[in-house]
Amino acid sequence: MTSRFVRLAAQDAAVREGLEQVRGELDVPTGFPPAVEMDALTVAERGPDRSDRRDMRDVPFVTVDPEGSMDLDQAVHLARTPHGYVVHYAIADVAAFAKPGGPIDREARQRGLTLYAPDEKVPLHPPVLSEGAASLLPDRDRPAAVWTLRLDGSGEVTDADVVRAVVRSRAQLTYEQVQHELDSGDARDDTQARLLREVGELRQSRERDRGGVDLPVPEQVVSEEDGEWRLSFRAPLPVERWNAQISLMTGMAAADIMLAAGIGILRTMPPPGEADLARVRRTALALGLPWPRGASYADLIRSADPEQPAHLAFLSLATTLLRGAGYTPFDGSHPELTTHSAVAAPYAHVTAPLRRLVDRFGTEVALAACAGTDVPDWVREALPDLPERMSASGRRARELERESINLIEAVLLADRVGERFPAAVVDREPRDRGFSIVIRDPGVRARATGELSVGTEALVELLTADPERRTVLFTSCDT
C-alpha cells in the first residue's frame, strides 16, 4: 500500500509539473490583468440594463451540462404545439457585460477561447462573469439572447427569431441525470427529458436527410481523483447528442438569418474532394466494410461501430474528410462558400459566448437582423479579424490538449516498459512507416512500429515512455 501511494504521489507530481511546463511553452494566460478583474467585478455588481429586454422569466428553462459545470451558456425549454414543437433557447448575453473596446472585450479578443487542461481551465472571461453574473445558473435572473424556434411535426424549422430578454432557469441538470430519467422510464410524457429526446431524434433524422456527418468516435478522457490520474475512452450519451442537435439547429437558423441580412460570420467547411472520397472508399473495401451503392460516406460513418477495430480504423481515416473548417465573415455579397459540409447546411456559432469569442458577434448580428436595426459598428468592424483570432486560439487549444494527453500517457506508462497490451491498429503513418494504435486500458492513442495491419487487433509491447519528451512508442510482438 505504501509503495502504491509513493508511486501515485510521484506520478501526480510529474503530471502537475509537466502540465505547468506545457502551459508555459504555449504561453497560456495565467489569471486576468487587474483592470479586467476590476471591470468584471464592477459590471457584475451593477448588473445589466433591463429596460430594453423582454421579460421571459415565466418560461421554465433548464440547463443540461456536464456535472460540475458553472459556465452555463445555454438553457432550453421545449413544448409541443398543435403543429409540431416550439423550442425556446436562452443564450448567455455576454454583450450585456463586455463593453465594446473595454478591458473585458479586449482581453477576450486576445484569448479567443476558454482553454481546457486536465488540471484546470483558463476561461475566456473572468469567473465572476463566466461562472457568476453572466452564467445561466438556476434561480437567478439573467440577461439572455432568447431564440424561439418553431418546428413542424417532422422537426423541420419553420420560423426562427431571437430577442434580448431576462430569463430565470428553474434547474441545473446533468447529462447523467437526464439519461437516467429516460432509461429508468420515470420521465413523464411532457417532461423536458422526453421532449429533448423527441426533438433530438427528429433533428437527427433531418440530419440524415441532409447528409450531415456525426463521427461516433469515443473521446479520450483524462480524470483525476485524490492524485490518481486515469486515461479512458468515453462515448457520448444519447442525451448529449440530442442536446447538441438543439445547438446545431440554432446555429443553422442563425446562419440563415445572417445570409438574409447580408452580413455575418459563418462556420464553413468545404466538401471533401473526389480523390479523398475515392481513397476512403478503397480503404473501407480493404477493411471489409460494405459500402452499398448509392450510400454516402456519411451513411457509412453513421453505421460504423467504434468497438470493432476495422470500423475504428475507417473512422480514423474518415476524419481526413472533415478538414478545412474555418470562419467566413461577409458584409454585403455572400461568400463563395456558405455551407459547412459536416452539417450539410449553412451554419454559425452563436450558442457558446461564455467560452467562444465569435459567438458574441454572431449573436449581435442575428439580434439586429431580427429587430430590423443596423448591426452595431463595433460588430461590423470586428468581423474581418475574427477568423484569424479564432484560428490562433484554436491552434493553441488543440496543442494544449494534445501535449497534455501526451504527457499523461508517458507518465502513466513510464514504469510499464516491456509490458504487452492488446491494441487496435487504426492508421498508417507513411512518413516513418509507423502505425497509429488505440489501447483501451489505459485509454491511450500512440505510435507503434513493426509488422502490423490497419483495422486489426494486435498485441504490442511498450518500448519507451518518456515524460520529458512526452512520447510513447510501442512495437508489435509475437503472441
- Taking only the tens place, the pLDDT of each residue in 152-169 is 999 999 999 999 999 999
Strand pairing of 228-234 and 219-225?
Answer: antiparallel
Give the mean pLDDT of the chain.
93
215 pLDDT higher than 90: no
* DSSP reduced 3-state for 141: strand
Q: Which three cell numbers stand for residue 200?
A: 433530438
394 pLDDT higher than 90: yes
479 pLDDT higher than 60: no
What whole-number distance in Å separates Cα of residue 241 and Cα of residue 175?
Answer: 10
Average pLDDT over residues 467-476: 96
- Predicted local confidence at residue 226, as pLDDT: 86
- Predicted local confidence at residue 75, as pLDDT: 98
Please state the φ and ψ torsions of residue 468, each to the nearest 5 degrees: -65, -40
Please state the φ and ψ torsions of residue 135, each to the nearest 5 degrees: -75, 140
Q: Contact, 203 vs 244, CB < 8 A? A: no
297 pLDDT higher than 90: no
Residue 478 binned pLDDT confidence (cut-offs 50, 70, 90): low
Q: Contact, 151 vs 143, CB < 8 A? A: no
Q: Tell me the residue type at 125.
A: H
Average pLDDT over residues 377-393: 97
What whole-number distance in Å separates Cα of residue 229 and Cα of residue 119?
Answer: 10
- Predicted local confidence at residue 336, as pLDDT: 96
Q: Contact, 255 vs 347, CB < 8 A? A: yes
What whole-number distance in Å separates Cα of residue 233 and Cα of residue 445?
Answer: 10
Give CA separation, 4 vs 10, 405, 416, in Å. 10, 22, 14
Please state the φ and ψ torsions of residue 338, each to the nearest 5 degrees: -120, -5
- Predicted local confidence at residue 163, as pLDDT: 98
Residue 320 binned pLDDT confidence (cut-offs 50, 70, 90): confident
| Residue 245 neighbours by CB distance under 10 Å | 22
Average pLDDT over residues 216-242: 91
- Which of 92, 87, 90 lies closest to 73, judged by CA? 92
331 pLDDT higher than 90: yes
- Which of 408, 394, 390, 420 lies closest to 445, judged by CA? 408
1 pLDDT higher than 60: no
Instruction: Give the angle subtended at the CA of 382 by the CAs of 376 and 386, to the nearest 5°.
Output: 135
pTM here is 0.94
CATH architecture of the domain formed by 417-476: Beta Barrel (2.40)
- Predicted local confidence at residue 290, as pLDDT: 81
- Predicted local confidence at residue 474, as pLDDT: 96
What whole-number distance in Å separates Cα of residue 190 and Cα of residue 87?
Answer: 14
What are the boundaries of each domain within the chain?
2-270+324-407, 274-320, 417-476
Looking at 120-129, 224-233, 300-309, which range is the least confident one?
300-309
> Which residue, chain included where needed, has cell 458577434?
361
What whole-number distance in Å separates Cα of residue 105 and Cα of residue 94?
Answer: 10
| Residue 333 neighbours by CB distance under 10 Å | 7
324 pLDDT higher than 90: yes
